[in-house]
Structure 1
Amino acid sequence: MLYFQDTNESEMIAIDWQRSALQKAAGEMPNRAKLVSVIADDWVTAGPVIMLESLSGKAGIAWSQILARARLDSRMLDAPESKLPIQTVLALFEDFGSRCSQPDVIFDAFYQMPKGHAGSFDYLALFAPTIRQALTNWSAFYPIRSNCIRLTYQETEQNGILTWDLPDRFGPRSFYSTTFFAYLIGRLERMLGDGKPAPVKIEFSSVPLRTTPAFLRPYSQRIKFNCQTSRLLVSSSVLDLVPTSAEANLYAIIESAALRTLAEATAHQSIVSSIAVAISAEMQKGDCSIRAVAQSMGMSERSLQRTLESEGTTFRKLLDDVRKHSAQTYLMETDLPVGEISQLLGFSDISAFSRAVKQWYGVSPKGLRLEGPAQQASASMRKTAGRS
């Protein structure tokens, strides 16, 4: 038996080397059967939703009603590594958050999440040899947690930068993104272990929530909203520090197993999701035509069309879906003028954009922007569930 002491939590964790050190230290890794049994083309793991379930009583939320509105079977939440449709999860989070009278119940739980609760993703940071390696690992191993959200890491002279890119086409994500940043900041503070706010700056692509979450208040002078992407900028002064929880032996074991899991997870990426990502990227450049998208993917237009046909869809339908959910995100989570949103989504003029929004959501762009988040989240869940 191997033991180590976590001085931050004064807890003893025992790892039996004869009975799979990895499973004891990092929790169950998804096996091949689970990896290929994907519920939706675009997915995230169920861990955060399971976390919400554990908070529902304290938050005064009727969990069974949340699941019913999301049309999720409780059996889909049997394991943290189960895969759920991203649009359903985002809408469920918005629904839960908008109905919670004290949102800090949610954010504090993710900020203070018990060590190991996020499995290998947790330990690959906490046990890492340096803060830089922890940030790098979060980026490198994020595909185990989602096939449609990108977490990338890069460095400048001043900062190590984690960029969390959740495509606009999936709809509003204020509560989901805030809980994830609560987790990141809580873990970073734990790794530094000095009891002080971490030396970071925070950028959100959304507008501020109604009230500032408690975990963000120490950073109030270092937060920006309405940014192009959501980012965590960590001062370069701490990148070479050793996390207080670093554990070299366990890190080597978990890293080895996680690399195998990563290889399997990335082998089953959806081609439709990849094309949708390309559409979003080309749209931001001002040209979302099939020619531009095909060229960006190194394909001919005909090859792209045949690929989508084999997946049961068309370029027009996929473009429409990307525009639809991007419009919802921009209108409900940013203060961008309607005219600017129309241009971003490639519409010829505001009237064409307004007609499209009316067709998609039954209200004008202004009406969608003013519509209550709980009502809109429920509507999004019904539409998403109907396609799953």
Structure 2
Amino acid sequence: MEKSTSQNGGQSSQDVRTQLVGPFLSWLRAHGQDPSPLLREFSLPADVESVPEISLPLSTLRAFLEAAELRSGDPFIGLHVAQAFKRGTYGLVEYIARASSTLRETFHRIARYMALLNDRMVASFQETASTGTFTYGVPGEPLSYGRHANEFGLALFVHVGRQLAGQPWNPLSVTFAHPAPRDCAPLTAHFGVVPSFGGGMNVLTLAASTLDLPVTSADPVLLSVLERAAGTPPPRDSAPPGFVQRVHEAIRASLRDGAPKMETVAKQLHVSARTLQRRLAEHHTSFQDAADAVRSELARQYLRDPHLGISEVAFLLGYSEISTFDRAFKRWTGMTPREFRG
């Protein structure tokens, strides 16, 4: 069976919505490069530079961004496209962020509305007394969107965040999903800290004092209008609580190594297995329930992809035998995976 393959050797045949293609092509053109060969190579529409978003297989998007790097000769093209970001590129979600009152509210709302930009992306914003951590990535894809997209994304959040605050600030730490490039000096210069790499998710941690910075373009009346236009996300009490959501994200990341293990997930969350059990029980759930919820959601997503065989879906969900996956899926849905596909 022919299939598209991601950089990490996993499947990437499912299309993703992306707003990256136009800005990268425009950046190439602005720097004296003719982008038309890339349009031909990747069968892109002639007006793609002016289209707000397109859908591509994730493997194709990664290949496109790598080809853009080769054409430009710039190994940090993602960083430099972010630094040349044009206001309004991200439409409604961007304007909601710009109308928020503080950087804290900006990051809360970006996490809340990220799905409007990309329904495969998961994002969260968690706070302690002294820090706030914004995390995003693609379930089942340890490299997320790939190096150039990841570097574009985190660089953009900091670049625009500085604009919104009207003053310079640096994050406390930055972690990229992808492995480290040979040289990370340009990234260190942009963020003001040495980034970490290979985390499976893209993570930005800010001090509470940075999150307190007011947004110079804050407009509560406009914000109210924009949020009504965006639609109301699920009420907080119907969504997984913050800790449970973090457990779900850790379980997703652990599936690349096989069946989810409580000890592994607890270690990722920097708690003991006993504490993990106790905190899940406080939210009236268990580790097994959390693992089932993640696997059930991903199973439906993967089974809708006709390029993935059922044995491949089982593997991606951490099952060593198809029969075990069959029984679990029937328990979740009342159908076998084949019946679900119809």
AA of the residue aligned to 2:154: F
Partner residue of 1:318 out of 313, 316, 324? 313
CA distance in 2, matches of 1:128, 1:314: 45
Match of 1:191 in 2: 164
Match status 1:287 vs 2:259: yes
CA distance in 2, matches of 1:48, 1:105: 12
AA of the residue aligned to 1:180: G
CA distance in 2, matches of 1:186, 1:309: 37
Deviation at 1:53, TM superposition (A): 1.4
Match of 1:119 in 2: 91
CA distance in 2, matches of 1:105, 1:309: 34
Match status 1:255 vs 2:227: yes
CA shift digits 1:103-133 (9 cap, x unpaired):
4565233224232222112111111012111
CA distance in 1, matches of 2:189, 2:253: 33
Deviation at 1:171, TM superposition (A): 7.4
Does the 8 A contact of 1:163 with 1:232 survive in 2? yes
CA distance in 1, matches of 2:21, 2:291: 38
CA distance in 2, matches of 1:319, 1:278: 19
CA shift digits 1:186-238 (9 cap, x unpaired):
111112212x2334321112233344364641535442223343200011112
CA distance in 1, matches of 2:49, 2:29: 17
The structure whose RCO (Cα within 8 Å, separation 6+) is larger is 1
SS at match of 1:231: strand
Q: 1:297 to 1:183 in 2, by over 3 A?
A: same
TM (normalized to structure 2)? Answer: 0.64
Does the 8 A contact of 2:137 with 2:144 survive in 1? no
SS at match of 1:129: coil
Q: Which has the higher helix share?
A: 1
CA distance in 1, matches of 2:304, 2:74: 46
Match of 1:297 in 2: 293
Q: Quote the sequence identity (%).
A: 20
CA distance in 2, matches of 1:83, 1:125: 24
CA shift digits 1:172-193 (9 cap, x unpaired):
7111100111211111111221
Does the 8 A contact of 2:143 with 2:201 survive in 1? no
Segments of structure 2 that go 5 or more residues without pairing to the other structure are 1-12, 235-248, 261-287, 321-342
**Pairs within 5 Å for 1:44-193:** 44-45=17-18, 47-74=19-46, 79-103=51-75, 106-166=78-138, 167-168=140-141, 173-193=146-166
Segments of structure 1 that go 5 or more residues without pairing to the other structure are 1-39, 264-276, 324-344, 348-388
Does the 8 A contact of 1:116 with 1:122 survive in 2? yes
User: CA RMSD of the aligned region, Å?
Assistant: 3.8
CA shift digits 1:254-313 (9 cap, x unpaired):
1110126x78xxxxxxxxxxxxx999556256317xxx999713999xxx79x9389685
CA shift digits 1:324-361 (9 cap, x unpaired):
xxxxxxxxxxxxxxxxxxxxx889xxxxxxxxxxxxxx
Match of 1:308 in 2: 303
CA distance in 1, matches of 2:231, 2:53: 16
